[in-house]
Amino acid sequence: ARWPGRWQIVIRRNITYFLDGAHTIESLQSAVKWFHDKSFSLQNNKRTMRIVIFTVTGPRDPKPFLECLQLSSSVFDFVVFANPHDNQFEILPSKQSQDILCFNIWRQIQSESNTTSNESPHCIFSKHVESISDFIKWLQNSQCFSYQALKSFPNKCTNNSDGADTMLYCHIFVTGSLYMVGRILKEIDEPV
């Protein structure tokens, strides 16, 4: 049996998408481990940027999910929060994205982690994007990936591959919402 959006890997040029619509804590823990194992096994000694695209929908409390991601933060380089619906139409309250709330809670968790940790803090860059469609198109048009370029989105990527933090490959882990997984599959023209 094939279940699109569950432990699914899609490769497009220099971007590999890892899609899992995990929407419980247990499934998110399992998905993070799967992403870690698969991403590092596919890396082949190539410098690779690892991005998480995340949101939750409906009335669920996003904090436990984000704490789960924080515990695995050494796996990721950048976290993007977005609304899978791009505000194109009216959404039922039970299906509303909590992307802005997720972004704010993530920043709070990161801040608390950095002030209470005795170890060297692992701060993950994060960004809220208004349009997941525009973000995916922007990534697909990028020749290389860097923190600076990601932080500057939606500005045009300079594709300067000389920077120390510049990587030629990108692994994108999409999770937290089946709606987000479906939206990404649509954006990358992957049949469902």
pLDDT of 1 reads 63
Cis peptide before 121 (omega within 30 of 0): no
Across 73-107, b (16+ Cβ under 10 Å) vs e yields bebbbbbbbbbbbeeeeeeeeeeebbbebbbebbe
Q: Is the domain defined by 8-187 classed in CATH 3.90.190.20?
A: yes
Among 185, 172, 175, 183, smallest CA distance to 26 is for 175
Q: Do 155 and 71 touch, CB atoms closer than 8 A?
A: no
pLDDT, residue 120, reads 47
- What local confidence, expressed as pLDDT, does residue 180 receive? 94
pLDDT at 128: 93
> For the CA atoms of 190, 134, 132, 162, what is the dihedral angle to 10 degrees?
90
Below-70 pLDDT ranges, the chain: 1, 87-96, 115-123, 156-164
Domains of the chain: which residue ranges? Answer: 8-187
Whole-model pTM: value is 0.90
Please report, as a single letter, which amino acid is at residue 187: E
- What is the pLDDT, as a whole number, of residue 87? 62
Q: Can you give the pLDDT at residue 89?
A: 56
pLDDT for residue 91? 59
pLDDT tens-digit series, residues 26-51: 999 999 999 999 999 998 778 899 99
Q: How far, in Å, CA of 179 to CA of 141, rounded?
A: 24
pLDDT for res 90: 55
* Distance separating alpha carbons of residues 108 and 128, to the nearest angstrom: 14
